[in-house]
């Protein structure tokens, strides 16, 4: 297809076409970058009008399998339920574009993004946002602000803007930003853990060579958490890239924009008389209702005020009164924060709510943690499995299926906020929160060979349930004896902005999320950030404000980690239900003795300790897994004992005369146990110079006997009777 606009950026080129396809839509953009082609359309319903002050925006990102020359997987050969990646990408685009719509925009608007062709190196999330923004910008909807996406990676300590997917695979940073030419609107970030060093040496199991080395760990991991100062510098540089990109977009798209249609907005004006009456006569009642911290309790208290006033003021409209009460409540909350530096629940601006932690509260689960912070409570449950228990999935650009071995599933039932809502399939918000917790914990997860599933059941919610999932998730992993490089915690930050003044809030509750101007979730260790997610309601945020929020978040995160580490020290494992695995190294020369003759020794170990054993004969790596920790521990000790004895065993040569013991008599001879726990075969023909028809006639089990080493055949020793 002929393109109208070609734009070159660092590491990529974008070609846009307008007015060629989807011409019935209010706006459409055909975007090609490399071999990736994306069509984004915008349609507005001019007939329907939403009276509530809520933007009725719907974003759908759809991947067509024909884009990669593939058939849809499964029995039904057409696209059906969206994948998690499609759902999360839809959410990213929605959160990026929502802030630029004017307040009171009331017509339903649908943005549809379809991937029609794809190559392996294109960043589909960045291109999806850019295409959607272009379609919106050139449409007849009165939006004159360009929004673009930017991916930032870090390879070998070098920051890369717009990395290819191959470069991102090697990156220790995955930072996604959306912004206009003047403001950051949305940030998502995660870091990647890495193997710092690998030790594969027989010295690990031989204290005689180096007593400081052990067989406990084959690899050293690090979480690559990003320090706050480095992140601020990266965001500053990224904002400059976004500014340049959006200035370019707006300068070239303006000539293709349609004339804006007149659209009505809904501004529900608050009745000044009602507000004045409430402030003069019922401010104490409203303040008391605000102090009811649970959403259900607060709603009930405000509803009681409203019902009582409707009886007193029979000529008042109840909907207008509800808006007036909400306005007074919002002003009260924000004024108290800005002027008094005090929050509705009496906390200081940087104060974290009380925390209580219980681990392994579910006796039959592999591990669990009940994490409670204020009126937010998450029950996080760990299940461990093998590789076959992983979640199979296939991305559009994959040549085959992949296996996800670390999963975080977040559930938010209605009862957690006192609402009568049936439990159904996970929604976008639940998938997003689970994904955030996964990104937070994964960089510090060192376990390999396991499939790990964390399920977070939100039992009570008054803000920051995703961060409770992160904290509870870390402790559930530790309660399952999973090694982590760092203690990982999460905290939700908020902001209230009035005029030139602003206040940063630590550990926000639901009221402050609803009436505040920013929702900023930060996770990480004491040293740095592993993941973050930011949404802005103001239309943008300065880096100075972000910097203060980062350091206040670090202070709160450190406080939470102190409490978590106390709970971690008191963990008692579910020994009877917790499956276990172990990875260690032995001298490859001892592998044959561990396997034994025809696999006899290894079968005995498997049966005795109830474990599964996987041995790399060439490298000497051993993987043990079993139904309980004790069996795995004892099996490892037994294997290491065999390996140790092998190193000490006597080396025999042909012609040696050795004193042994008859271990077992068989029809064709006898197995003789030699010094060093080595067995040899004394064939019936070699027992005596006189022909022997029955071995039992000349030998008895347990009898001492002198034998001669005649021959070596692989691991087998052939013996003769010494003369």
Q: What confidence tens digit (pLDDT) does each residue in 514-570 have?
A: 788 888 899 999 999 999 998 876 666 778 888 899 999 999 999 999 999 999 999
pLDDT in tens, 89-128: 999 999 999 989 888 888 899 999 999 999 998 999 999 9
Q: Is residue 213 part of a domain?
A: no
Do 146 and 248 lie in a common domain?
yes
H, E, C per residue of 192-205: CCEEEEECCCHHHH
Do 643 and 679 lie in a common domain?
no
Do 379 and 306 lie in a common domain?
no
Do 385 and 518 lie in a common domain?
yes
14 vs 323, which has greater pLDDT?
A: 14
φ/ψ of 704, rounded to 5, equals: -80, 140
Q: How many CA atoms lie within 13 A of 83 on its CB side?
A: 17
Q: Is residue 470 part of a domain?
A: yes
Do 465 and 600 lie in a common domain?
no
399 vs 616, which has greater pLDDT?
A: 616
214 contact partners, CB below 8 Å, separation of at least 6: 204
**pLDDT of 645 strictly over 80:** no
Q: Is residue 115 part of a domain?
A: yes
Are 194 and 171 within 8 A, CB to CB? no
Evaluate the CA torsion angle 308, 313, 318, 321 in order and state its sign: negative
Last residue of a domain, one of 648, 677, 703: 648
450 vs 153, which has greater pLDDT?
A: 153
Do 168 and 28 lie in a common domain?
yes
pLDDT at 105: 85
The CATH number of residue 593's host domain is 3.30.1370.10
Q: Which of 460, 444, 552, 532 shows the shortest CA–CA distance to 490?
A: 532
Q: How far, in Å, CA of 723 to CA of 720, rounded?
A: 9
pLDDT at 397: 79
363 DSSP 8-state letter: T
Last residue of a domain, one of 609, 630, 648: 648
The CATH number of residue 453's host domain is 3.30.230.70
Q: Is residue 424 part of a domain?
A: yes
Last residue of a domain, one of 544, 569, 594: 569
Do 251 and 103 lie in a common domain?
yes
Are 356 and 349 within 8 A, CB to CB? no
Per DSSP, the three-state class of 337 is helix
Q: Is residue 203 part of a domain?
A: no
Q: Is residue 497 part of a domain?
A: yes
**pLDDT of 384 strictly over 60:** yes
pLDDT in tens, 701-718: 989 999 989 888 766 888
Q: Is residue 454 part of a domain?
A: yes
Q: Which of 430, 380, 425, 387 shows the shortest CA–CA distance to 406?
A: 387
Q: How many other C-beta atoms are found inside a 10 Å radius of the C-beta of residue 279?
A: 14
The CATH number of residue 686's host domain is 2.40.50.140
Tell me which residue range forms the domain holding 698.
Answer: 657-721
pLDDT at 448: 62
Number of domains in the chain: 5
Do 410 and 370 lie in a common domain?
yes
313 contact partners, CB below 8 Å, separation of at least 6: 321
Do 454 and 596 lie in a common domain?
no
What value does the mean pLDDT take over residues 382-398?
A: 83
Per DSSP, the three-state class of 485 is coil
Instruction: Write out the DSSP string of 87-136.
Output: HHHHHHHHHHHGGGSPTTB-S-EEEEEEEEE--TT--HHHHHHHHHHHHH
Q: How many other C-beta atoms are found inside a 10 Å radius of the C-beta of residue 615?
A: 18
The CATH number of residue 280's host domain is 1.10.10
Do 476 and 507 lie in a common domain?
yes
Per DSSP, the three-state class of 519 is strand
pLDDT at 179: 92
42 vs 669, which has greater pLDDT?
A: 42
**pLDDT of 206 strictly over 50:** no
Do 291 and 150 lie in a common domain?
no
Name the pairing type of β-strands 451-460 and 406-411.
parallel
Instruction: Write out the DSSP string of 284-332.
Output: HHHHHHHT--SHHHHHHHHHHHHHHHHHH-TTS-HHHHHHHHHHHHHHH
- Strands of the 451-460 sheet, one edge to the other: 355-359, 367-373, 376-385, 451-460, 406-411
445 DSSP 8-state letter: B
Q: Is residue 205 part of a domain?
A: no
Do 48 and 149 lie in a common domain?
yes
Q: How far, in Å, CA of 694 to CA of 700, rounded?
A: 11
């Amino acid at each position: 297809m002929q393109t109208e606009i070609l734009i070159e950026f660092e590491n990529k080129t974008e070609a846009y076409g307008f007015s060629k396809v989807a011409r019935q839509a209010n706006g459409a953009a055909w975007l090609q970058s490399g071999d990736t082609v994306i069509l984004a359309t915008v349609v507005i319903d001019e007939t329907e009008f939403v009276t509530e002050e809520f933007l009725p925006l719907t974003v759908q990102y759809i991947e067509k399998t024909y884009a990669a020359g593939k058939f849809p997987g499964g029995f039904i050969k057409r696209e059906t339920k969206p994948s998690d990646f499609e759902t999360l990408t839809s959410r990213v685009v929605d959160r990026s574009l929502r802030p630029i719509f004017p307040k009171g925009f009331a017509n339903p608007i649908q943005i549809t993004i379809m991937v029609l062709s794809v190559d392996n190196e294109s960043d589909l999330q960045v291109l999806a946002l850019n295409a959607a923004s272009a379609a919106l910008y050139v449409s007849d909807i009165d939006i004159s602000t360009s929004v673009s996406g930017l991916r930032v990676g870090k390879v070998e300590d070098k920051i890369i803007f717009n990395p290819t997917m191959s470069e991102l695979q090697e990156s220790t940073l995955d930072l996604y930003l959306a912004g206009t030419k003047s403001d950051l609107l949305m940030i998502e970030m995660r870091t990647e853990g890495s193997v710092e060093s690998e030790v594969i040496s027989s010295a690990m199991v031989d204290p005689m060579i180096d007593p400081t080395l052990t067989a406990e760990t084959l690899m050293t991991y690090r979480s690559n958490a990003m320090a706050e100062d480095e992140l601020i510098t990266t965001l500053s540089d990224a904002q400059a890239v976004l500014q340049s990109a959006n200035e370019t977009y707006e300068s070239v798209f303006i000539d293709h924009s349609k004339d804006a249609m007149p659209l009505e907005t809904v501004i529900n004006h608050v009745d000044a008389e009602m507000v004045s009456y409430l402030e003069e006569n019922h401010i104490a009642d409203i303040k008391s209702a605000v102090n009811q911290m649970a959403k259900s309790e607060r709603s009930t208290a405000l509803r009681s005020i409203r019902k009582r006033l409707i009886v007193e003021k029979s000529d008042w409209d109840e909907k207008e009164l509800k808006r007036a009460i909400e306005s007074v409540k919002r002003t009260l909350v924000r004024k108290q924060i800005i002027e008094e530096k005090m929050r509705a629940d009496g906390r200081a601006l940087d104060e974290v709510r009380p925390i209580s932690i219980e681990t392994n509260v579910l006796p039959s689960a592999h591990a669990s943690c009940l994490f409670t912070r204020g009126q937010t409570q998450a029950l996080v449950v760990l299940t461990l499995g093998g590789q076959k228990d992983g979640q199979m999935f296939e991305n559009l650009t994959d040549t085959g299926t992949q296996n996800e071995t670390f999963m975080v599933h977040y559930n938010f039932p209605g009862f957690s906020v006192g609402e009568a809502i049936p439990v159904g399939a996970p929604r976008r918000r639940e998938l997003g929160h689970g994904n955030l917790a996964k990104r937070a914990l994964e960089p510090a997860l060192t376990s390999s060979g396991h499939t790990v599933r964390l399920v977070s059941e939100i039992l009570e919610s008054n803000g920051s349930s995703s961060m409770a999932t992160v904290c509870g998730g870390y402790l559930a992993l530790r309660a399952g004896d999973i090694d982590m490089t760092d203690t990982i915690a999460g905290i939700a930050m908020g902001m209230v902005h009035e005029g030139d003044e602003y206040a940063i809030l630590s550990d926000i509750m639901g009221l402050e999320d609803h009436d505040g101007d920013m929702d900023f979730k930060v996770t990480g260790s004491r040293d740095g950030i592993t993941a973050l997610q930011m949404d802005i309601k103001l239309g943008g945020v300065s880096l100075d404000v972000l910097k203060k929020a980062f350091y206040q978040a670090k202070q709160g995160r450190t406080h939470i980690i102190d409490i978590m580490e106390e709970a971690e020290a008191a963990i008692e494992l579910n020994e009877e239900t917790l499956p276990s695995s172990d990875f260690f190294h032995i001298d490859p020369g001892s592998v044959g003795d561990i396997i034994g003759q025809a696999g006899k020794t290894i079968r005995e170990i498997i049966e005795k300790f109830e474990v599964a054993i996987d041995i790399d004969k060439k490298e000497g790596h051993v993987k043990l897994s079993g139904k309980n920790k004790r069996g795995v521990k004892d099996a490892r000790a037994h294997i290491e004992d065999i390996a140790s004895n092998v190193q000490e065993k006597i080396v025999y040569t042909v012609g040696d005369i050795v004193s042994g013991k008859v271990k077992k008599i068989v029809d064709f001879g006898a197995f003789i146990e030699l010094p060093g726990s080595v067995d040899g075969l004394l064939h019936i023909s070699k027992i005596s110079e006189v022909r022997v028809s029955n071995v039992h006639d000349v030998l008895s089990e347990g009898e001492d006997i002198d034998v001669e080493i005649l021959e070596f055949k692989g691991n087998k020793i052939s013996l003769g009777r010494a003369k």
